Homo-oligomer: A and B are copies of this chain.
Amino acid sequence: MDIQDLTRQLHIKNNSKIVMLVADGLGGLPLVPGGKTELETAATPQLDALAVRGVQGGSVPVLPGITPGSGPGHLALFGYDPLKYLIGRGALEATGVGFALQAGDVAVRCNFCTLDRAGNICDRRAGRISSHQSAPLAISLRQIEVPGVEVFVEPVKDHRFVVVFRGDGLTGDVADTDPQATGVPPLDPAATRPEGEKTVRAAKAFLQQARSLLAGQDKANFLTMRGFAGKPRLPTYEEVYGLRAAAIAVYPMYKGLAQLVGMTVLGAPTTLDEQVDVMARHWLDFDFFFLHFKYTDSSGEDGDFEAKVKFTAQFDACIPRVAALKPDVLIVTGDHSTPAALKSHSWHPVPTLLVSNCCRPDPCTTFGESQCLGGGLGQFEAKYLMTLALANAGRLGKYGA
């Protein structure tokens, strides 16, 4: 039985408010043996005060040792088993640029590439041309017409863009056309299951016209297609938790992920302060608020320990304004760790803090990776965080008599 099979049955509606603050990539590592992590190094007086009142632990995004991407990382925080629900690469990319996928759409990640005169790939990323150069090219591909299929093209970043095919009978059962090598031509689209044939025909028609349209380009004279994927079928927050949920994010990817589980995306904030403004403004309209803070992750990916420390402190400073709204349950967590030492996402458990009037406090006095080890939440799979949130909000009934 899935944890959401339980919450579907047991959830109760009341007037409580739950806030989940996600500092992306929050967990870290010390730079030197015996040193402190980014979170432990940062001045976080607000989070430490919450640690005294609340309960903390380490959330394991997927399973021990498994490093998640942003998709599974957030699905788990939202209470969706990340091994059961998969978001295809194309669907995630489309979501990431704010494209509202519909059921039946097939999204594809595309890379501009460079072909030599013989038609072989000589650069799989078209010299990593800048967004400045590539976005107009991607937009020029919008003139492509595929009979019976609606085609959308959205620039992403650098050499990357996304194509969405919309029409009856399309599926994601198509293999990548990127041969993952140079000196050979791109592969032709090929179905991985018979159901993919109609999408194959659409992709071939698209590629044929794109070849003509791009023929005059120096670098981006063709493209490869990867990660064909339909819109994932995810039950909504309303269905599984009975929650009216809102998402407040700066980056399209996280707005998109939240939309996939039925959250309403609020406002167009560009700073953490504006995000909190948006939350305050809509405080009465929703039961659950997901607020996403990106820079703890991006600084970690950059390997910039000091920047991650700085952004962690900046994140800490938003706490009083959120706390002033008096949420019944306040959660602070991350979707995964992004240690600056590794310059990448990692598998390490993520420091997670939960404050409510009925959490059972633990002896922790600060918020951090080492303190978490003695925290009352122990180490737990992230997919259980929402159940804990609902319980602490008085929103879960008893299981069995």
Contacts and interface: CB of A to CB of B under 8 A. Distances in A.
Interface of A: 1, 3, 6, 10, 27, 29-30, 33-34, 37, 53, 58, 62-73, 82-84, 86-87, 89, 92-93, 227, 339, 341-342, 344-349, 358, 360-363, 369-370, 373-380, 384, 386-392, 396-401
Contact of A30 (B67, B348, B361): B361
Contacts of A89: 401
A311 to B, nearest CB: 20
Nearest to A72: B400
Contact of A399 (B72, B84, B397): B72
A29 B360 CA distance: 6
Contacts of A67: 391, 396-399
A63 B379 CA distance: 13
A6 B66 CA distance: 8
A99 B152 CA distance: 62
- How many subunits of this chain does the assembly comprise? 2
A71 B347 contact: no
Nearest to A397: B67
Contacts of A68: 398-400
Given A34-B361, A391-B347, A62 B369 contact: no
Most B CB within 10 A of own CB, among A33, A92, A388, A398: A398
Contacts of A82: 399-400
A268 B369 CA distance: 44
Given A341-B358, A378-B58, A400-B86, A387 B92 contact: no
